[in-house]
Amino acid sequence: MNNLFVKALKNGFDMTKEDATALAQTVQKVFRGLKEVEDMSLHKDVRSIFNDLHQKNLLYLRREELNEKGKFIRKYYWSLNNDGIRTEAYRKPIKESPYEIYKKIPENAWLIHSSNT
């Protein structure tokens, strides 16, 4: 599986490398070398995973509207978002001390709180 995709999963979901590799292999099995996969062919658990990947901008979802025998039909297709994968793979994690949040609180908020206690 593409190491870039594994890194994107690891960064995007804060996973271990082993978990990211396993998920990447699952996605690879679903695509079977194809560029797109029809949504109706997916198991509901895989669809749920694909929705999570879509929210992280790692997958595209394309909608196609057809008129078959007088019926209006919508079909959905999943594909890898290579730009989103690349962006997430190279994203630098923000390392902020857990105590930095206290520096963001205005001083008058501390004064108001201390006078009420």
CB count within 10 Å of CB 48 equals: 11
The single residue listed with the structure tokens 């994203």 is 91
* pLDDT attached to residue 111: 79
Q: In a structure prediction context, what are the per-residue pLDDT tens digits for the chain, which is 117 residues long? A: 589 999 999 999 999 999 999 999 999 999 999 999 999 999 999 999 999 999 999 999 999 999 988 899 999 999 999 999 999 999 887 777 777 788 888 888 877 766 665
Q: Nearest 5°: phi and psi at 95? A: -105, 105
Structure tokens at 38: 């029809």
Residue 116: the pLDDT is 62
For residue 115, give the 3-state DSSP assignment.
helix
Contacts of 65 (CB under 8 A, 6+ apart): 72, 73, 74
Backbone phi, psi, residue 72, to 5°: -85, 120
Task: Give the list of residues 6+ apart from residue 4 with CB closer than 8 angstroms, or none.
Answer: 85, 86, 89
